[in-house]
Structure formats: C-alpha cells, structure tokens
C-alpha cells in the first residue's frame, strides 16, 4: 500500500511496471484510488499481479477520472472474462468521450480535419481548402 500512497502524490513518475508479484485485488484497488488523483503517470503495466476481476473493476473506475494515463498493459492477472469486460467498457467510454470532444471542437471552432498520427490526435490545417 506504500506504493499506492507514493503514486497518489508523485509529480514526476510517468511509467510504472509491476511484474510478477502477488499484489492481489486489494493492492490493485489502492493503486486505482491513487490513479484517480495522479496527474503524471502515462504508462502502467501489471503482469502476473493476480489483481482478479475486482482489481480490474477498480482500475476501470479509476480510468473514468484519470485522463493522463494513455497506456495500460495487463497480462496474466487472472481478471477473467468479467474483468476484461469492465476494462474494455471503461476504455470504450473513454474513447467515445474523446471522439465526442474532438467533434465538438471541430464544429465549435471550425478547426480543420483531424487524424490520429504518431500516437496522438492531430488537427490538420488545410489553409481553408
């Protein structure tokens, strides 16, 4: 739980890889609570961490509040089909909200067309063409 506390207030860490540990759903929930407040972490990898469907649910709820994390890697964490569904729904909701925001910006500010390039959304200035 000390790691979750540190992550909550950290202002410089951008990537965290936790590999082959037995954190379980309780520690995953603590990390998820920290993610809700953290504004610097961009990449989180949890492999062989045994977070289970409960940990996956906690992380998916944190994704609704955290807008900094751009990469989440899970593997061999025993999340099962239930955990996979909760994570995928959270990611889908996040992606849809992002797309709606882009469409709003386009319509509101009459910005040029946009495309996904080099890992980020880019507005293309067509010079009025």
Domains recognised in the chain with CATH numbers: 2-123 (3.80.10.10)
Lookup: tokens for 72: 């989440």
Measured between alpha carbons, how far is 72 from 109 in angstroms, rounded to an integer? 32
Instruction: Kindly report, residue by residue over 37-83, the tens digit of the pLDDT.
Output: 999 999 999 989 999 999 999 999 999 889 888 888 888 898 888 88
33 neighbors 1 (Cβ within 8 angstroms) = no
pTM: 0.74
Given a cut of 90, is residue 122 above it in pLDDT? no
In the structure, what pLDDT confidence band is assigned to residue 119 with cuts at 50, 70 and 90? low
């Amino acid at each position: 739980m000390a790691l979750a506390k540190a992550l909550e207030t950290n202002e410089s860490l951008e990537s965290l890889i936790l590999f082959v540990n037995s954190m379980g759903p309780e520690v995953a929930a603590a990390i998820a609570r920290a993610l809700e407040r953290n504004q610097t972490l961009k990449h989180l990898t949890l492999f062989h961490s045994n977070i289970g469907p409960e940990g996956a649910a906690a992380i998916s709820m944190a994704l609704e509040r955290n807008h900094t994390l751009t990469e989440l890697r899970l593997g061999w964490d025993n999340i099962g089909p239930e955990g996979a569904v909760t994570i995928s729904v959270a990611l889908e909701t996040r992606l849809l909200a992002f797309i709606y925001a882009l469409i709003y910006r386009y319509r509101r500010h009459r910005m040029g067309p946009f495309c996904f390039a080099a890992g980020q959304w880019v507005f293309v200035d067509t010079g009025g063409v």
